Amino acid sequence: MLRILIIEDDKSNQEVLKGFLNMIAEELNQEFQIDVADDGTIGSDMYGEKNYDIVFTDIKMSVMNGDEILNYIESRNPDQVVIAITGSGFAESKKVFTTKYLIVIFKSPLITIF
């Protein structure tokens, strides 16, 4: 079972990403355990309590933004797979995240993509 943490403060984006991951799990005939945090503080608490295979995090959040989350995760597990999600452009995002992390740029809200 793949353990996934989504840290996203927009409820509709949470649902779309969770639905997308569930579609992938079904297609691969796999089970994903998906936990969702409504902001960075909740996400860091959840990350501290469990081991996750993949973390998806929004970059721009009102409570504990993406760079703060990433610093926290990196201090606990430098090899953690993190996929950063943003509706902002890459130029802004690359200031926050090193090339070690995958940055996925979506138009916001995610619902417009699917």
**Mean pLDDT of the region 19-46:** 95
| Triad 100, 40, 79: Cα angle to 5° | 30
Residue 87: the pLDDT is 67
Backbone angles phi, psi at 101, to 5 degrees: -110, 145
Backbone angles phi, psi at 105, to 5 degrees: -105, 120
pLDDT digits (tens, 9 = 90+) for 76-107: 998 898 888 776 654 454 544 544 555 555 55
Backbone angles phi, psi at 28, to 5 degrees: -90, 0
Q: Examine the pLDDT at 29 and tell me if it is beyond 90.
A: yes
Residue 35: the pLDDT is 98
Rounded CA-CA distance 35/4 in Å is 6
Q: Which residue has the higher pLDDT, 107 or 51?
A: 51
Residue 71: the pLDDT is 86
- Report all structural domains of the chain as residue ranges with CATH numbers, in order of start: 2-112 (3.40.50.2300)
**Mean pLDDT of the region 4-32:** 93
Element (H, E) at 88: none
Residue 46: the pLDDT is 97
